[in-house]
Amino acid sequence: MIPKTFKEVIDLGDGREISIETGKLAKQAHGSVVVQSGKCMLLCTVVSNYKQSDVDFLPLTVDYREKFAAAGRYPGGFFKREARPSDGEVLTMRLVDRVLRPLFPKDYHAETQVMIQLMSHDEEVMPDAMAGLAASAAIQLSDFPFECAISEVRVGRVNGEFIINPTRAQLDESDIDMVIGASADSVMMVEGEMSEISEEEMVEAIKFAHEAIKVQCEAQLKLAEAFGKKETREYEPEVEDEELQKKIYDMAYDKVYAVAKAGSAKHERSAAFEEIKEEIKATFSDEELEEIGGLVSKYYHKAEKEAVRNLTLEEGLRLDGRKTTDIRPIWCEVDYLPSVHGSAIFTRGETQALATVTLGTSREANQIDMPSFEGEETFYLHYNFPPFSTGEARPIRGTSRREVGHGNLAQRALKKMIPDDCPYTVRVVSEVLESNGSSSMATVCSGTMALMDAGVQLKKPVSGIAMGLITDTETGKYAVLSDILGDEDHLGDMDFKVTGTADGITACQMDIKVKGLSYEILVKALMQAKDGRMHILKELTNTIAEPRPEVKSYAPKIVTRIIPGEYIGALIGKGGEVIQELQKTTKTTIVINEDPDTEEGIVEILGTDQDGINAVLAKIDALMFKPEVGSVYEVKVIKLLDFGAVVEYVDAPGNEVLLHVSEFAWERTENVTDVVNMGDVIDVKYFGIDPKTRKEKVSRKALLPKPEGYQERPRSNDRGGDRRGGGDRRGGNRDRDRKPRRD
């Protein structure tokens, strides 16, 4: 018997709906829902252990996976099984995690898992836009201590009209692609890319998305009420000691405030803070520290946070001595690495990124193979964050989710500035060499300069900046910080990264840690970010004002040639022998793709030597050579026959034609060698297909003056060969001589 189900339907306002259903699947999970739009179905389950973990943070895992069976497909690779998550799945996990994590109590440390699976795919629905809704709805059905319902939506804009959760086809036409996460009261997360929109337009898009999220939050609450809202579980809270907290506050606050106000460098400041902490710990015995050491560290960090925040709110000063709008000193350099196709260093304060550019053919495109999307990227960016960049030694265990996310943000910031007619596949790699605040924005800046250094004709240079926020809810004071430090990110209330050109925003990423951020503060942060972006952009263009007109001498040049589909096979040759020999002799890389619409061949020729590229182009021209009737061509004799000579067009090597002996001269030619010899270069006139022989006809004599008194000899029915005698060489006419057969 199918169990009773509970369901809520959300109207998107344009004929589309999203339904949330529970009661049928995964009932042993602490909460489970199926979210459906069209044929797209997501199953989300949530489980949280009832025992607190022995850690001082929330061990939350958000896992999003797209099952290939959902799209009726097999996984790629040798083992036909889903394995490690793709970058696209990792990015969705990060989007959901960033909204959920702040809504759990700070002292809730139970192991918690949120698992979201794409179970059925619909080409018209992008499933990642519903993952946040699924996660929150499942939590609302659980007994977790969780502040409030949230949801996430994607917003696009086509022809000036905003769209909630657009289809992929609509997104291709949209000038905005943003995912917004929020509760009914507060916007908490924004991430996306734009086509140089204004700050005001971005705020409009966020407001539009927030209205849709409010409806989705209400639907979750209705579903939970109908299902039966569970009592929030009790858990063992952290031990608190108000007397100890006040004691440590009194010991630490003034000293921390003085160090913060000194405006020192990162390591000097960290050492000073650590010294204060050790002095405080020294006032306790070893036995006391064994019992309350965790609380001592916790209360010290609370005092440190308050002192640093108050310094900014009260005096407008920051940890490194800057004012709220100041940008750290910047220096840049391009063409630093002598053997790469393009390189640049961007250093801002204690953050440094070295970017490299590599140019290749379509063969080097980044292949994307997900159940919800198949395609390729001809521009992509990879971000590496080694431990030495922060002065640490720790194990390297593959690419982290953070590296995937930061690289994706920088890629989105730059990709719309790559020209549509760029013939190359372009890979940018950012190596973060120092980090103290916003290495992703340093990646955008170094990536811009490296692309211009490589000769990629960027439409416009792009810069980026990370903004911070410190607020005091009691007094209403707040401070927006430009170009934040790592400590300001940790201690502040907002991390807002904005990238753009001189004409508008190209990408953003925002995480808000406080409730009820007003749109007034958001607009102020955006406008202050614009001023910072323009300052940084000037530093970039002072270093390299515009893209180099050409790629470097040692970088590969690329030429694209379109050929009719009928010539693709000839260029490849039997078993690839023609193209392989051509690549070997010209020292080039040749890639041939077939256009599925026109069936034409798209030939990409990549090489560092222009002569080699020219040789490949000459070969293609030779393959496609078609002589025109009535035109004169220069030919070379490559073979002698009894009845003529085989000649090759000089401008199209490999294209051969027979010059019949009768077309050598007006006079009778007894021997072929009386007129031409091997290697001779002569002119001939092209007459097209001879209606008698059905073969191509060329003539040398047509270009010679006709002798005086010359008369044409009557020509017999020539069937080929050297039959100038009229009839069979063995004498007589065989048809006439043959007698009727008698029975």
Annotated binding site for Mg(2+): 489, 495
The alpha carbons of the chain give a radius of gyration, in whole angstroms, of 37
- Can you read off the two tokens belonging to residue 236? 């063992």
Which is nearest to 428 in space by CA: 338, 322, 357? Answer: 357
Other beta carbons within 10 Å of 379: 20
Which is nearest to 110 in space by CA: 59, 47, 46? Answer: 59
CA separation for the pair 245, 238 (Å, rounded): 14
- Containing H/E element for 405? helix 401-415
β-bridge pairing 379-384 and 425-434: parallel
- Can you read off the two tokens belonging to residue 140? 């609302």
Q: Which residues are annotated as a binding site?
A: 489, 495
Give CA separation, 421 vs 436, 459, 589, 612, 613, in Å. 37, 11, 20, 23, 19
Query: Which residue is it, tokens 């209705």?
Result: 222
Yes or no: say if 163 and 156 are a contact pair by the CB < 8 Å rule.
yes
Give CA separation, 465 vs 386, 507, 725, in Å. 21, 11, 91
The set of residues, in sequence order, having a beta carbon less than 8 Å from that of 101 and lying 6+ positions away, is: 58, 60
CA separation for the pair 44, 49 (Å, rounded): 17
Yes or no: say if 485 and 266 are a contact pair by the CB < 8 Å rule.
yes
- 122 dihedral zone (left: phi>0; alpha: psi -120 to 50; beta): beta
CA separation for the pair 105, 110 (Å, rounded): 11
* Residues, the chain: 743
Yes or no: say if 473 and 467 are a contact pair by the CB < 8 Å rule.
no
CA separation for the pair 620, 625 (Å, rounded): 8
The set of residues, in sequence order, having a beta carbon less than 8 Å from that of 28 and lying 6+ positions away, is: none
Which is nearest to 304 in space by CA: 269, 333, 338? Answer: 269
CA separation for the pair 169, 195 (Å, rounded): 17
Q: Give the count of alpha carbons within 13 A of 294, CB side only.
A: 8
What is the DSSP secondary structure assignment for residue 674, as one 8-state letter? G
Q: How far is CA 304 from the centre of its chain?
A: 40
Which is nearest to 684 in space by CA: 720, 654, 722, 651? Answer: 651
Phi, psi of 637 (to 5 degrees): -75, 120
Which is nearest to 496 in space by CA: 65, 93, 239, 189? Answer: 189
Yes or no: say if 233 and 144 are a contact pair by the CB < 8 Å rule.
yes
β-bridge pairing 187-197 and 110-120: unpaired
Q: Which residues on neighbouring strands pair with residue 9, listed in sequence order? A: 19
Q: Which residues on neighbouring strands pair with residue 366, listed in sequence order? A: 377
- Can you read off the two tokens belonging to residue 228? 């039966």
Phi, psi of 532 (to 5 degrees): -65, -40
- Containing H/E element for 603? strand 601-607
Which is nearest to 384 in space by CA: 428, 347, 343, 344? Answer: 428
The SS3 of residue 484 is: coil
CA separation for the pair 326, 3 (Å, rounded): 62
Name the amino acid, one letter, at 116. Answer: I
